[in-house]
Amino acid sequence: MREATNNMKKKHLFSLAVFGLLCVGGCGDQEREVTPEQRAERESAFREACAAQALAVSADESLATIQSTLLTLDPGDPTTSVSRAATEAAMEYSVAYQNHAALRLGAFAHLDSAVNTASTTADSARYIERAGSFTIRNPDAGTLEANVSNAYQAAFIEVLGDPNHPCNWNTPSDAGEGAR
C-alpha cells in the first residue's frame, strides 16, 4: 500500500510539473487560442477543486452532526457510556478526515486558480507554487491517518466518476472559457 501511495504521490508531482508547463505556456495570455491540452487541464483542475470542496463541506457537516450527538450523551449516565465511547471514536476519525479534506482542498483550489482564474503567468506560477506547498505525508498502514487518506481518495474518485455529480457538468469548457 505504501508503494502505491508513493507512486500516486510521484504521479501527482509529475502532473503538477506538466500542469505548470502547460499553464506557463497558456495562462495569462488572453490573445492565444486555448489548446485541447490546456482545455483538458482547466476542466480537470476545476473538477478536482469542485470535488475537494464537496468533500470538505461533507466533512464539516459530518463533524457537526457527531459533535451535536456527543452533546446529547450524558457523561455521568452509565447506560450511554458505550454510545459515548463510539461517538468519541467517530469524532476523532471525523476531525482527522476534516483536516485531510481541508489540506486537499487547499492544494486543488490553488491549482484550479492557476489555470482558470490567474490573469498573468506570474500569478499562475504563484498559485502552482502555493499548491505544491501543501504536503500530505504518506501515513503508516493501519493508522487512523491511513484510513482517512484511503477513505478520502475513494470518495474523491467516486465524485469524479459520478456523471450526475455537479462537479462533472458545469465545467469551464461547458459554460464557455472562464465561466464558473
Q: What is the pLDDT of residues 40-89, one digit of tens each?
A: 999 999 999 999 999 999 999 999 999 999 999 888 888 888 999 999 99
- The rounded distance, in Å, linking the Cα atoms of 133 and 49 is 16
Tell me: pLDDT of 91 over 70.
yes
Q: If pLDDT is split at 50, 70 and 90, which confidence band does 130 have?
A: confident
pLDDT tens for each residue of 12-40: 443 444 444 444 444 444 456 888 998 89
Q: What are residue 117's phi and psi, to 5 degrees?
A: -130, -20
Cα–Cα–Cα angle for 43, 160, 146, nearest 5°?
Answer: 120
pLDDT in the model for residue 24? 45
CA distance 164 to 179: 20
In this prediction, residue 107 carries a pLDDT of 92
- Cell numbers representing residue 4 in the block: 502505491
More confidently predicted of 113 and 177? 113
With a pLDDT cut of 90, the percent of the chain lying above it is: 49
The angle subtended at Cα 38 by Cα 34 and Cα 39, nearest 5°, is 75
pLDDT above 70 coverage of the chain, percent: 78
Rg value, the chain, Cα: 19
CA dist., res. 138 & res. 134, Å (int): 13
Given a contact cutoff of 8 angstroms between Cβ atoms, the answer to whether 70 and 88 are in contact is: yes
Categorize the per-residue pLDDT at 174 as very low, low, confident or very high, splitting at 50, 70 and 90. low
pLDDT at 49: 96
Q: What is the mean pLDDT of the chain?
A: 81
Residue 131's Cα: distance from chain center in Å? 11
DSSP letter (8 states) at residue 180 = -
